[in-house]
Structure 1
C-alpha cells in the first residue's frame, strides 16, 4: 500500500522537474539588422575664385551612424581640377598641376586625392554618430598654372562610398 503514494509523489516530482526543465531551456532570440546611415548637407563644395597659393573649400560635416564596422572610400576619374566647358557640358584637357587634397578632420591632416582613396578603414561600430569634417584643398602654382584660361570653370567629380567592412 505504501508504493501507490510513493509512485504518485514520484510522478508529481517528475512532472515538476519536467516543467522546470522546460522553463530553463527556453531562449529568447532576436536578429539585429546591420545599419549604416549617412547624413550630409545638400551642398557642393566650391573653391570660389582660385588665387596663387593654397585655396580651401568650406567644411562639409558628414555624420555616420553605424552598428557595424565600415569604410569610407573616395573615388574619382580625375584627381585634378580640369577645365570644364559649361556650354557643351564636356571636360577639356587642361588640368591644374597639383592634385586636389582632401581632409576629413577639418584641415588638420591632408591626403592627395587619387582615383581610389581610402579615407576611413574599418571604423568600429559606435553608440553615437561619427562626425567627419570634410574639406578640399587646391594649390595653385606659379608659373605652371598661369597658362590656364581665365574665366573657365575647373572641376572634377568625386564620389564618396560608405560601405560595410565585411
Structure 2
C-alpha cells in the first residue's frame, strides 16, 4: 500500500500529514522558498514523522530539506546574486548568457536595480581628460558631476 493511500484512508494520518506539510512549507517560506505539499511528501523524514507521530526536525530532516530541488535552486540563485553584487566576472558572464527576457525576470525577482560594471583605468582617464578639456570652469564642474567624478 502506498503512502498516499495510507493517508487517504486514515483521518489521524491525514491530520499529521497536514501539520507536517504546513510546518515544512513554513520553514521553507522563512528561507524564501515556496514549496508545495507534493514537494514535501517525497521527504522520507516527513513520511516517517506522519506514520509514527514523531516531531519533524533533526539533522536528517535538515539535510533532506536542503537537498530538495526548490531549495537547491534558491541557494544557487542567492549565490549568483551575491556574486553579482561582489562584481565577480563569472557571475556577470552567466548573466550575459541569459536571454534578455530571462535577464529581466532574474533582475526583477532579485530586486537588482543596476549591476555595477568594472571600469578600466583607461575609461576613467578618458572621462577625466574630457572634463579637463573644457575651458569654462562652470561647465567643467557640471560635466564632472554629470559623469560622477564630483558629487
- What's the TM-score, normalizing by structure 1? 0.21
Say which structure is richer in helix: 2
Q: Which structure has the larger Rg?
A: 1
- What's the TM-score, normalizing by structure 2? 0.22
